[in-house]
Homo-oligomer: A and B are copies of this chain.
């Protein structure tokens, strides 16, 4: 296998962080913008996000949640009102103070001192407060509940250290905000959103995740409980890929979201919020990428099938182009994964082999090459991106007839979708350790293999307050964090590895993004 000349210059095992940057560049997904902390999401990267958005939006709508749109700007006073809330965002936000530019008299422009805002406006870091304001107007009676809202939006958090898709000052997300009559209803919605995220990640992104509850120290500020889905990246680190919060009545109290109950009394609503972001794109890269670039699960691939005619770039190409156009139309007429297949006939100028490697780096699931001789013989050369190399270290083309290729394409895409999931799930399962029964053993484990150590599931007594803080500090010294308490974990049976007290549940410990 070492004879293979991979398409990237950096291998995952040599420098995972550099490899990640190279995939983004080689797959033409995004680039730095020149604006501090903000990236440009290029068509291939944005196309993947659009697909995620489309599929997630269908799930959100199917749950009866309605999309709406709220202002980009939030008055400063909203934040002062929710001091606890602000604490959680470290106050790093973009602040608008002026509404006009004026010449500086030296050929440049400056904010016009005459156009200073009376009250500065904050660019939303999340929309809790402004959506809470709206809910307080929209909810009057129990008949108005549940109120199930979602927003697709850009948000800004001024990040000092950024990494494309994983942490940028501006990012794209959806934020669900719901209000309910009772605690039971709101907790059910919190868990419904969590399950929506789990099934979305596993079915659409081929991303195996653990759904569970965050410990107290990792809760969203002000939340009663915070749940997450956690995915294991190929370097063994955890990525929190989505969160869902049960907020109790504290946000309703701050925003005055009250309703008249069935008996005529006034009650505070129980609220929830839940979100996923462009961060998921980073999770897909670090889960499915390989040393040849990205591999995109078919459900979220902007194009699932690429047809590459071997053109000579002269007038003799016309019959081959016509043949490939007919092939494209035949494939586009088929459905896979519940939608028409997205197929591109790539006629851009350039050598077919160079173009093939462009699509390999981008991770298009299936590449079909057709030369003049293939056309004569009624065959095509087909490459599946998830299994690029054969045992001999050569590109693992298959050579079905044109009709076999068309008839088999839907099943092939389904198989790639499933296969990527299984590969990631097997790797994840092989890298979870469950037999560590002391803090020293935990430290040894993570010190022994500092690079790609995986996750450890430990038993703990669920300390709170200062006792929890002390445990968190001990983990921090090892660069470790608690991830979550899986919903489907086995019951605890031993002693807590931190306190020695009887354990009450199992929790994941890992390095994390």
**Given the interface contacts A66-B47, A79-B109, A109-B86, does A38 sit within 8 Å of B93 by beta carbon?**
no
Render A75-98 as a binary contact track against B, CB cut-off 8 A, 1 for contact.
Answer: 111011000001000011111111
**A91 touching B80, Cβ below 8 Å:** no
Distance in angstroms from A180 CB to nearest chain B CB is 15
**B43 touching A109, Cβ below 8 Å:** no
Copies of this protein, total: 2
**B40 touching A158, Cβ below 8 Å:** no
How would you classify the secondary structure of chain A's contact residues: helix, strand, loop or mixed? mixed
Distance in angstroms from A171 CB to nearest chain B CB is 10
Render A149-165 as a binary contact track against B, CB cut-off 8 A, 1 for contact.
Answer: 10001101010000000
Minimum CB distance partner of A150 in chain B: B43
Residues of B within 8 A of A158 (CB): 99-100
Minimum CB distance partner of A155 in chain B: B72
Give Cα distance in the complex from A110 to B76, angstroms: 8
**A47 touching B71, Cβ below 8 Å:** no
Give Cα distance in the complex from A35 to B76, angstroms: 11
- State which of B112, B143, B170 has its C-beta within 8 Å of the C-beta of A73: B170
**B94 touching A95, Cβ below 8 Å:** no
Distance in angstroms from A98 CB to nearest chain B CB is 4
**A69 touching B41, Cβ below 8 Å:** yes
Residues of B within 8 A of A79 (CB): 101, 109
Render A119-146 as a binary contact track against B, CB cut-off 8 A, 1 for contact.
Answer: 0111100000010011001000001000
Q: Does A323 contact B (CB under 8 A)?
A: no
Distance in angstroms from A334 CB to nearest chain B CB is 18
Q: Does A111 contact B (CB under 8 A)?
A: yes
Q: Does A338 contact B (CB under 8 A)?
A: no
